[in-house]
Structure 1
Amino acid sequence: MPRPHVQYVETAAPGVRLWTERRGDPDRPALLLIMGAQASGLGWPEELCDALAARHHVIRYDHRDTGRSTPAYEKEPYRLTDLAGDVTAVLDGLGAGRAHLVGMSLGGTLAQLVLCDRPDRVLTATLFGTRALSTAPLVHADGTRTAAADLPGVDPRILAEWARPVVDHGVEAELDRRVRHWRLLAGEDVPFDPEYFRDLERRVVAHTGRYVPSGAHARADQSGMDRTDALAATRVPVLVVDAPADPVAPPPHPRHLAQVTGGGAALVTVPGMGHALPRPVLAPLARAILGHTAGP
């Protein structure tokens, strides 16, 4: 496979540019990977990127304030919806008119925003580790309903970890913190490999050139993200990946998201998957994505 190609693209915000990386045949349909909050594009494992590049021109990128993209928030605070604009900026900058979107966590939120606001740019969407941008209730098989606001929240252990102040005690201590965080996010159904995640974060730190996270995405304005009607009206093919061990968007959030999207999105379960991408889930996740992008 040809060596990945790196390119910077400009956003709508003056002076803000994004690091992007492409791999695979550029004549194949584009597939854009959208990572979660505070996460560099290197959070998408090489093994997964290569598997998807067998059929697609795969693109991953660094959000603002992550990786090698512009650290922008301190100079000019932005809204999370602005990060959805960055998705189309990446497509524009790389000359990709439409793309398959794959979004994890905040990336799944941004993919929903693009799906609703710019459906002309989306071939398909695959969403996981995320909650529906909809206030519509979850309708159960017996006809009873659960309000969206009453669906399960984030695991208290994750909330406690997020509430802990990040103190600079050096790079190794920061790697310890990140591995501890991944251990919680990964859930308890797949054996946890701390060295796998430590190596991942070492590569992120080397790529970024710094190890203290900015926290910008947690501080960004989260208003204006409800897309109840637009989600229900979408006709773009959507796949929701059910991660049964996800402590951030636990079941039945995936079923709710599938139900409120376009009259019923496809739903597939990756056994043991949590809010992370350890090796055991990569092959089944790649199969699910590729099966979806191949169409009916």
Structure 2
Amino acid sequence: MHRYVDRDAATRLWAEDGGTPDAEPLLLVAPANQSGVAWPDALLTALGRRHRVLRYDHRDTGRSDVAEDPGGYGATDLAADALAVLDAFDVERAHVVGVALGGLLTQLLLLDHPERLRTAVLVCSTALRAPDDPPLPGPHPALLRLWTEAEDPRDDDAELDWRVEHWRLLHGTGSPFDPVAFRAIEERVIAHSGRSEAVTAHAYLDLDGLDRGAELAGVTVPTLVVEAPDDPVHPPPHSTHLAARIGRTGHPARLVRIPGMGHAVSAAVAEPLAAAILAHTR
């Protein structure tokens, strides 16, 4: 079942409620610029056997509203969007799974609204910033080069080709890349949203409010950090650092590694990722 969630007069979000209706809710928080319909069917099916699964389109993606000024909102607003989805479906507490930017948003929820989370799972993410952060590697140079082309004009076929190449780089080299499957994902996203132009609004996010890494030591919600060894955006030192930051006062995060995983939740890693998530939510 899908519905629209009115955040305010200018922002309406598309959201969907699936899985097992009477089971414990689980909210999926997607990466930057990614529609909620990009989650692999295999992952949704596996999680849905044990959970009521909620997914949604970030603002400026999918069927959610497009902001007049993409730089007019910040990461804290996107975290509030996730709470608004829970409220709209009358969910008091949920397991929350955040990937990449979704992992940063989930960290904000852990700090500001721990009473709304049963558990948290942070996938392919990095920690909120802190003054004593060690030097950590940045994204792979090939990705940085491709990102400079994100807003170049392209026709529909070229846009699809660009998105598949983006997925190829995000996927990493730890497991075989299936361009046909990723093209199908993007075709589904385009059909869902009704537009084919590049989605880049989250590159302009206001990042104020993310300098809260030191506060993660006080997290008490059971948290799992999923490390993707072939992640070209947040390579493994990021996940180790993130896990070490969380719950230092007595509720440390657990760290698991998904072999072959890069910065893409693909069908190839859906089964082991779902197994890790379900073991944690259990």
Match of 1:252 among 237, 262, 271: 237
SS in structure 1 of the partner of residue 72 of structure 2: coil
Alpha-carbon distance, 1:94 to partner? 0.8
Change (3 A) 1:207 1:84: same
1:262 corresponds to: 247
Report whether the alignment pairs 1:50 with 2:45.
Answer: yes
2:5 corresponds to: 9
Alpha-carbon distance, 1:115 to partner? 0.9
Find the aligned partners of 1:237 and 1:288 in 2 and give their Cα distance: 14
Report whether the alignment pairs 1:168 with 2:153.
Answer: yes
Change (3 A) 1:270 1:165: closer
Report whether the alignment pairs 1:232 with 2:239.
Answer: no
The gaps in structure 2 that reach 5 residues or longer are none
Change (3 A) 1:190 1:75: closer
Alpha-carbon distance, 1:266 to partner? 0.4
Contact 1:9 1:94 in 2 (8 A): no
Report whether the alignment pairs 1:19 with 2:4.
Answer: no
Q: Deviations over 1:136-181 (max 9, x none)?
A: 65xxxxxxxxx43x11111111111111243333211100000000
Alpha-carbon distance, 1:187 to partner? 0.4
1:271 corresponds to: 259
Letter in structure 2 aligned against 1:36: P
Letter in structure 2 aligned against 1:42: V
Alpha-carbon distance, 1:278 to partner? 2.1
1:40 corresponds to: 35
Report whether the alignment pairs 1:213 with 2:198.
Answer: yes
Q: Please list every run of at least 4 consecutive aligned residues from structure 1 whose deviation after the TM superposition is greater than 4 angstroms.
A: none
Change (3 A) 1:253 1:234: same
Match of 1:242 among 227, 238, 241: 227
Match of 1:282 among 250, 270, 279: 270
Letter in structure 2 aligned against 1:69: S
The gaps in structure 1 that reach 5 residues or longer are 138-146
Letter in structure 2 aligned against 1:259: A
Contact 1:42 1:204 in 2 (8 A): yes
Report whether the alignment pairs 1:152 with 2:137.
Answer: yes
Find the aligned partners of 2:148 and 2:141 in 1 and give their Cα distance: 10
Find the aligned partners of 2:213 and 2:258 in 1 and give their Cα distance: 26
Match of 2:96 among 83, 101, 106: 101
Change (3 A) 1:239 1:174: same
Contact 1:185 1:247 in 2 (8 A): yes
Fraction of identical pairs, as percent = 50
Find the aligned partners of 2:176 and 2:71 in 1 and give their Cα distance: 41
Find the aligned partners of 1:266 and 1:75 in 2 and give their Cα distance: 35
Change (3 A) 1:119 1:198: same
Find the aligned partners of 1:168 and 1:94 in 2 and give their Cα distance: 39
Q: CA RMSD in A?
A: 1.4
Change (3 A) 1:75 1:43: closer
Worse overlay, 169-178 or 68-77: 68-77
Match of 1:203 among 173, 188, 199: 188
Q: Deviations over 1:18-37 (max 9, x none)?
A: 10111122221110000011
Q: Deviations over 1:200-247 (max 9, x none)?
A: 000000001001124211112111112223211010000000100000
